[in-house]
Structure 1
Amino acid sequence: MNLYQNLGYLVLGSRLRRLSEAFLSEINRIYQSEGIEFDASWFPVFYLLSQNDSLSIKELSDKTEVSHPAASQLITNLKNRNLVETTADPDDARRQLVQFTEKGKALLQQILPIWDAISASMAELAASDTQIEHLLPAITAMEDTFRAYNLSGHVGDKLKAAISNENI
């Protein structure tokens, strides 16, 4: 067992980050090997826009569960690459709607087969081991439970209890 496995939940965030970075690096390697200039971090926006004609930055922020400034920064990056454009919402000029440019639509067509291949390959990987097969449902359960569980409050209570026990 390595250090991370020995430390259990104390390093859960670090382990998830390491796994995420390794996975995204591998996905980016796939795009590069196919000669496609696409970054895996763009996936949520590309996917959502592939399912919608346009979305506001707030909608993208809400659906991807990232801050509005983070979503705005990503959209600016994609705009600078001429992959998306923004227009004022006809119903509310303060709202900016994001949609693909022609270049963005062309890139989407290139990456759709890659998404299918990634999904199929990951399904094969998950089917190869029953523990891996339960990974996505376990992550969903952890996300749902973590949102409802006040970790900092529980830790604070345990620290207060430990301090009061020392003072007895």
Structure 2
Amino acid sequence: MKYFSLILYYGFAIYLPKSNRPYAFKITKPIRYHICKNILEYCGKNVNIERLVYFGDGQGISIGDNSGLGVNCKIQRNVKIGNDVMMGEDVMIITNTHNFENCDIPMRTQGLNYISVTIEDDVWIGSRVIILPGIKIGKGSIIGAGAVVTKDVPEYSIVGGVPAKLIRSRK
């Protein structure tokens, strides 16, 4: 069922219009949702996956209830997204890194290493944010548009910039 769903998603559903467009007839969101439930490791209730979202084969990806992935997001494997997470357009969540320990072997032949990313509940991620491998974004945080997240983000923090730095706490 997973492979059939992957064919349906990448061959058809990924190109459907944005879910809030009048000509989408309120069917694009449920179509993508039901297909992605068969692909992702876990897909909660009322998840919105917008058009052109790429998540490979869905391995190790879980998305909590009432969360959404913005248009053209790219998510690699081993990502846990909590409940009520809002994600803008063009967000990239990177979990793979090239191995480079052995200087006698070209890096491209040393293989990949996947380091998981965790996004806790009630997080707002602005457009064009890049989240690097191994990052944990704490509950209730806001990541400003265009930020590059290189370090863990504490709960209820607002961060932004390149690299992302604490702007202020929400509490």
Could you state the TM-score of these two structures normalised by the residue count of structure 2? 0.23
Question: More helix per residue: 1 or 2?
Answer: 1
TM-score (norm 1): 0.23
Asked which structure has the greater CA Rg, the reply is: 1
Q: Which structure's residues are more often strand, by fraction?
A: 2
